[in-house]
Structure 1
Amino acid sequence: MTCRPTSRRLAPVLALSAAAALLSACGTADRLANVGRIPELSAIQNPALAPGYQPVNMPMPAVDLGERQGNSLWRAGARSFFKDQRAGRVGDILTVTIQINDKAQMQNQTKRSRNGSDSMGIPNLFGLESSVNRVLPNSVDPSSLVSASGTSTTDGNGAIQRQEQINLQVAAIVTQIMPNGNLVVQGKQEVRVNGEVRELQLAGIIRPEDITSANTISYEKIAEARISYGGRGNISEVQQPRWGQQVLDIIAPF
């Protein structure tokens, strides 16, 4: 008997194929238009006006209504008697130092073994054991009616080894001051070398107290840190699977 797929089953597949073809056609047209050209750098824009930008909303402590004292030339938290050179207002710039040197090694080994044996018989049961042959063949021994045995063995090994090392510096801009005084920073850096663009993006929340007198801060002091480092260009495109292979990896059932 031959089974034919119904229109309902074909509809999702056809829709997915059409969407993939449309997206690939747009991407292919853009790539064909840029053949022979080096990747263009993005224009400098206000991060707060980006389409995906959303102001950060975090739990805030109660407002401290402290009494202010006048007639003082010194400001609390200032590193300089006359002026604090650290970033503290929206639009100020500070330098973020990224020095990641992580290494993780994990190894697991599991072994399990089990042997079991069960047997059951009816040597004597109110004298009825002699009547078993009337129901079962004569070769059946009532003393060994059921016998079962089982063996189970499991052996598993696993190992993980990961090492990451990144040494970078990026200038970030203060985009928001939260009610408790913490600063929301966001930075982006692009470098083009021989037709390949390397892009570094950073975002997070910092405390003004963690900014050094040189107006720098280390990445491990950034809360909710989002750090992205990658590239785009001819070399990055060669390292990616072709769009046809990506579509097959998604829709292939086996």
Structure 2
Amino acid sequence: MIKSVLFAALIGMAGCSSLDQVGKTPDFSGLEGTYQHHAMYSNALPEQGDPNAATDAASLWTASRASLLGDRRAGTRGDILTVVIEIDDSAEISNSTARSRSGNQSMGIPHLLGLPQRLDDRLPEGTSMANAVSTNSSSIFSGDGSVSRNEKLTLRVAATVVEKLPNGVLRIEGQQEVRVNFELRELIVTGYVRPADISRTNEVTYDKIAGARIAYGGRGQISDVQQPRYGQQVTDLILPF
């Protein structure tokens, strides 16, 4: 009975850690409902019509995408562009904290209309009201922490324009999978891109993608061996020590 109650208590303590994440990668935070999401879907100010539109239709040198000098950058739903990912970040943080405190208090009633002397006669031997209370406290705290991080990633992936928002911003999604023997490497890129940030070579760098979500990982025999077993993950979530 005691073992059952103890096991149930451990399960309850593990409620803070969701068991449905066992064996899964961390989820990205959603963009829906944020100020960025609302701004992306808001209507842009109306633009005036192009006065040269009528003459462009009769010209041999038009600005259409099918023209010899036309702009072939991605701009509508279904178009493809290349996302260049070149991450080379490093960070180093060091913190040190020290704190100390000491206190000393005493209280006594040596003379108060003769009452302390009368009380001393009634108190046990060795006690006196002259020094009724005396306290002494001291506390010392010190902390030291440091963080060192270095990340480098260079990748290129083709992404598709899945939606053109009312304000002209493009929402892109790209996924790439490469299988070598029994290991599958996958790359996922999503976010929002301004058409003006796409280069003439139809490329955009990752630092110009708003709300970028970049995931690079894999699955297969090697990845399975590097991960702890499900039983160990569950045990780490349940056991409080």
For 1:107, the equivalent position in structure 2 comes to 94
1:110-189 superposed matches below 5 A: 110-189=97-176
- Once the two structures are superposed, residues 168-194 of structure 1 have per-residue CA deviations (whole angstroms, 9 ceiling, x without a partner) of 000101111101111111111111223
1:72 offset after TM fit, Å? 4.2
User: How many corresponding residue pairs?
Assistant: 212
**1:221-236 to 2 correspondences below 5 Å:** 221-236=208-223
**Within the alignment, does 1:209 sit opposite 2:196 as a pair?**
yes
Matches within 5 A, 1:87-102: 87-102=74-89
1 CA distance for matches of 2:49 and 2:165? Answer: 21
* 2:108–2:133 Cα contact (<8 Å) kept: yes
Per mean C-alpha deviation after superposition, the further-off stretch among 58-67 and 85-94 is 58-67
TM-score (norm 2): 0.77
For residues 145 and 57 of structure 1, what CA distance do their matches in structure 2 show? 68
1:58 corresponds to which residue? 38
**Quick check: 180-189 or 82-91, which moved more?**
82-91
1:61-95 alpha-carbon deviations (Å, 9 max, x no partner):
4441524424343659x9x8841110112111111
Distance 1:149 1:236, change over 3 A: same
Q: Determine the structure 1 residue equivalent to 2:28.
A: none
* Counterpart contact for 2:63–2:71, Cα < 8 Å: no
Amino acid at match of 1:176: E
Measure the CA separation in 1 of the matches of 2:86 and 2:76: 26
- Give the Cα–Cα distance (whole angstroms) in 1 for the partners of residues 119 and 37 of structure 2: 81
> Does residue 1:71 correspond to 2:44, yes or no?
no
Cα separation, 2, equivalents of 1:202 and 1:133:
83
C-alpha distance in 2 between matches for 1:72 and 1:143 = 108
TM-score calculated relative to the size of structure 1: 0.74
Gaps of at least 5 residues in structure 2 are 24-31, 57-61
Structure 1: give runs of 5+ residues left out of the alignment.
Answer: 25-53
Identity %: 44
The CA deviation at 1:110 is: 0.7
Superposition RMSD in Å: 3.1
Instruction: Report the Cα offset of residue 224 of structure 1.
Output: 0.8
Q: Is the 8 A contact 2:85 2:205 kept in 1?
A: yes
CA distance in 2, matches of 1:5, 1:189: 48
- Alignment partners' CA distance in 2, 1:83 and 1:230: 38
2:163/2:170 contact within 8 Å kept: yes
Matches of residues 18-33 of structure 1 in structure 2 within 5 Å?
A: none
Residue equivalent to 2:233 = 246
Three-state SS of the structure 1 residue aligned to 2:71 is: coil
- SS of 1:248's equivalent in the other structure is helix
For residue 202 of structure 1, report the CA deviation from its aligned partner.
Answer: 0.4
Q: Tell me: CA distance 1:153–1:178, structure 2 relative to 1, closer, same or farther (3 Å).
A: same
